[in-house]
Amino acid sequence: MIRSLQAIHNPFARSATAALTAFSAITLASAIVIGTTKAKDDAYKTAFYAALAGAGCGALLGWVYAGTSQTTDEVRDEPSSPPLEWHTWKDWRNFVVARKVKESEEITSFYLQSQDGGELPNFQPGQFLTIKLDISGQAKPVIRTYSLSDYVEPHTYYRLSIKREPIPAGLDVMPGIASNFLHDQIHEGDVISAKPPSGKFVLDVSKPSPVVLISNGVGITPMISMAKALTQLNPNRSIWFFHGARDGRFHAFRDEVKAIAAQNPNLMLHFAYSRPRAEDIGHHHSVGYVDAGLIQSLMVQDADYFLCGSPPFMESIREGLKQADVPESRVFFEMFTKATKTTAERPLEDASDVENAEIVFAQSNKTALWQAGADNLLEFAETNGLNPPYSCRQGICGTCQCKLLEGEVEYVETPTAAIDDGSVLICIAKPKPSRLVLDV
């Protein structure tokens, strides 16, 4: 009934419909009761008053429901732009938060529907969306990258599932800007801009080989998309789904993953809880971490491995797979954040900050003079009025990669994304003396 009410946009009509439905339902129910029992004479009167009261409640429900859904309806009824064809979406596009769902103590999902009502392009499981948030107190829009955490064809919505980033232990800094804003300030009916799905951490659904999906914490997000896509599109493929969480409170999507497994007999599940509570009994398969030992004990022959989770977790699993002679070409991974820098990862001590360099942005036909102190080539390009594509700004996602036509760069951080020959990640690179030509 709620869904039918949702379809009626006029609040008066919605209220009247709900009232009439409630009146009819109670009258019918009373008639059945009176007709089939030895009801007393005043039962008719009672039934009549009950039907009136029901109609009143129905009217109220219809009216209140109109009120709560108004924001979303208003947004949908007055699209800010004409519907987009999926292939014309290149830059920022507005999305309405159609649903906001708490998945665990830390993770909340946001279901996004295009505000213009146009189609949503397909994506490869594992890809992410880049979103832009206007947050008061921030000098410029805050841009962040979030994996698509669902896969339902045809795509009528995109789902992002976001962990609230707390202040790291022992540090006197701000909590995560975007994640806390999304959790606290973004509600159903609000609008968020996003770029089209992107990313290279993708699963080729058509391959026949077994797949091992390994995650901990919020690293589960791309894994759900992969498991669901395989279940829908290639259900004969064997899937192992390993996930680690502290306990049931921090285990997002437990029931959703169990539901995928119930639907797909070729999906094997293993949940490991590091500190299970008494009430978690029956909800996990082992106590401890998902680690190299666990993966090796269940070693699957000829499989592709997909890893996503905290940096130490990924390091340990990758090392374990290496020791088990799994070829690197079969191991795919994505990090949401960088590991705390070890000495080995720090920029080279002798990496000098070049005083002056001529930077030529070939595509844009623009030349500018780099001066010591600038952070990286991406920020330098933006300062000079250019708008190269980017997402994570940390060397993780590869979005800012461009051809280096002349010259050399040095990285201020160790890149995580795979870099094509002759290309550069400008978000973490500085020029080496003294001339650089970029295909930007």
Ligand X SMILES: Cc1cc2nc3c(=O)[nH]c(=O)nc-3n(C[C@H](O)[C@H](O)[C@H](O)COP(=O)(O)OP(=O)(O)OC[C@H]3O[C@@H](n4cnc5c(N)ncnc54)[C@H](O)[C@@H]3O)c2cc1C
Q: Which residues bind ligand X (CB under 6 A)?
A: 128, 144-147, 161-163, 165, 167-168, 171, 173-179, 199, 218, 221, 334, 336-337, 392, 396-397
CB of 271 to ligand X, least distance (A): 19
Among 260, 409, 427, 429, binds ligand FES (CB under 6 A): 427
Q: Which of ligand X, ligand FES, none does residue 127 bind (CB under 5 to 8 Å by kind)?
A: none
d(CA 144, CA 142): 7
d(CA 190, CA 173): 28
Q: How many CA atoms lie within 13 A of 368 on its CB side?
A: 19
Q: Which of ligand X, ligand FES, none does residue 381 bind (CB under 5 to 8 Å by kind)?
A: none
Q: Which of ligand FES, ligand X, none does residue 395 bind (CB under 5 to 8 Å by kind)?
A: ligand FES
CB of 291 to ligand FES, least distance (A): 28
d(CA 321, CA 60): 61
Nearest residue to 203 (alpha-carbon basis) of 336, 308, 300, 325: 308
Site for ligand FES in 379-418 (CB under 6 A): 390-393, 395-400, 417
Which C-beta is closer to ligand FES: that of 189 or that of 431? 431
Q: Which of ligand FES, ligand X, none does residue 30 bind (CB under 5 to 8 Å by kind)?
A: none
d(CA 90, CA 87): 8
User: Residues near 54 by Cβ (< 8 Å), separated by ≥ 6?
Assistant: 22, 23, 25, 26
Locate tokens 């869904």: which residue? 3
Total residues contacting ligand FES by CB under 6 A comes to 13
Q: How many CA atoms lie within 13 A of 293 on its CB side?
A: 5
> Is residue 130 at the binding interface for ligand FES, with CB under 6 A as the rule?
no
User: Residues near 404 by Cβ (< 8 Å), separated by ≥ 6?
Assistant: 422, 423, 424, 436, 437, 438, 439
Which C-beta is closer to ligand FES: that of 16 or that of 339? 339
Which C-beta is closer to ligand X: that of 61 or that of 148? 148
Which residues are at the interface with ligand FES (CB under 6 A)? 390-393, 395-400, 417, 425, 427
